[in-house]
Amino acid sequence: MTVAPASKNVEKNISPAAAQKPRRKRAETSNFSIRMGQLALAVGVLGSWELLCRIGVIDPFFFPLPSDILDTVWVWISTGFVFPHLWVTLQEAILAFITGAAAGLILGFLLARVRLLERLFDPFLQMFNALPRVVLAPIFLLWFGLGIWSKVAFGFTLVFFIVFFNTLEGVKSVDRVLVDNAKMLGASEKQLLRHVFIPSALTWIFSSLHISVGFAITGAVVGEYLGASAGVGYAIAQAQGVFDTEGVFAGMFILMFVVLIIDLGVNRVERHLLRWRPPQQAS
């Protein structure tokens, strides 16, 4: 950046890259003003919430003061109260995600490649998918108890179907020409999977990973809420039991940030694995 002013005059006439420079700069400034606008929006909403509570327009019993919520978040974090709960929730979510995604991927690839299996399984998968998954939570509680496994099972049913249907669609929508080309170059079925189907399906799978990571955590929290002895959902349920709305909101905020951080990680992995895509599509 420091050399830019010196070379500016020279570049202007020759390099097409020079023509792009001002445009990028404009994009950066507009990006910056968007960020400022977002900040202003957040401050505005939270500020007016705080103000309306303090002058008594909003009942702080139902909508506690944002400052009190932050305070509770801080207490939960500084005393270490929330960490064992968070750890349990994350364990459940991670296990549900890994098992659900793995099963979804394997079955998705299998059914996409073996037409017979797809026709055989299709109605049953549709039936299970049509079932609102929340009604499974009570039966899983009975089957697997109050520990983490009932939540893992619940999260599994949420993650599995998303990953499965996206993988199935991703593999089936592979460009026919790419498959034919690889075949003509001598690809075996295994090599087709590795060089053509898996990379091509990755785009679809990743769009489902974003949602399924969220669903894994939803599964864990909802499961905990319905019956558990630990976890963030349990902590929220406990707070609700004693009409501690600050605690409920604090739990919500903590979950929100944890999911955001995990999503950033998924984004980074996605960007690396899909680096071959033209940039306008990737963004």
Partner 1 sequence: MTHPAQTEYAVELNGCTKEFVTPGGGSYFAVRDIDLKVEPGRFVSIVGPTGSGKSTILNMAAGLLNPSSGTVHSFGQPVDGVNRRASYMFQQDALLPWKSVIDNVSLGLTMAGVSKAEAYDESRRWLEKVGLKNFADRYPHQLSGGMRKRTAVAQAWIVNPDILLMDEPFSALDVQTRQIMENELLELWQESNKAVVFITHDLDEAIALSDEVIILGAGPGSTVVGSYDIDIPRPRDLLDIRDDPKFVDLHREIWGRLKVEVSRTYESAREEEESDAA
The contact set with partner 1 (CB under 8 A) reads: 177-178, 180-188, 191, 195-196, 199-200, 202, 274, 276-278
Question: Nearer Cβ to partner 1, position 6 or 185?
Answer: 185
SS (HEC) of 12-77: HHHCHHHHHHHHHHHHHHHHHHHHHHHHHHHHHHHHHHHHHHHCCCCCCCCCCCHHHHHHHHHHHH
Question: Nearer Cβ to partner 1, position 98 or 193?
Answer: 193
In angstroms, give the least distance from the CB of 176 to partner 1. 9
In angstroms, give the least distance from the CB of 46 to partner 1. 43
Question: Nearer Cβ to partner 1, position 1 or 176?
Answer: 176
Q: Are 127 and 239 in contact (CB under 8 A)?
A: no
Burial of 29: CB neighbours in 10 Å, binned 0-12, 13-18, 19+: exposed
In angstroms, give the least distance from the CB of 186 to partner 1. 5
Tokens of 21: 């420079």
Question: Nearer Cβ to partner 1, position 179 or 259?
Answer: 179
In angstroms, give the least distance from the CB of 169 to partner 1. 18
Pick the closest to residue 251 from 261, 238, 264, 266 (CA basis). Answer: 238
Question: Nearer Cβ to partner 1, position 142 or 185?
Answer: 185
In angstroms, give the least distance from the CB of 194 to partner 1. 9
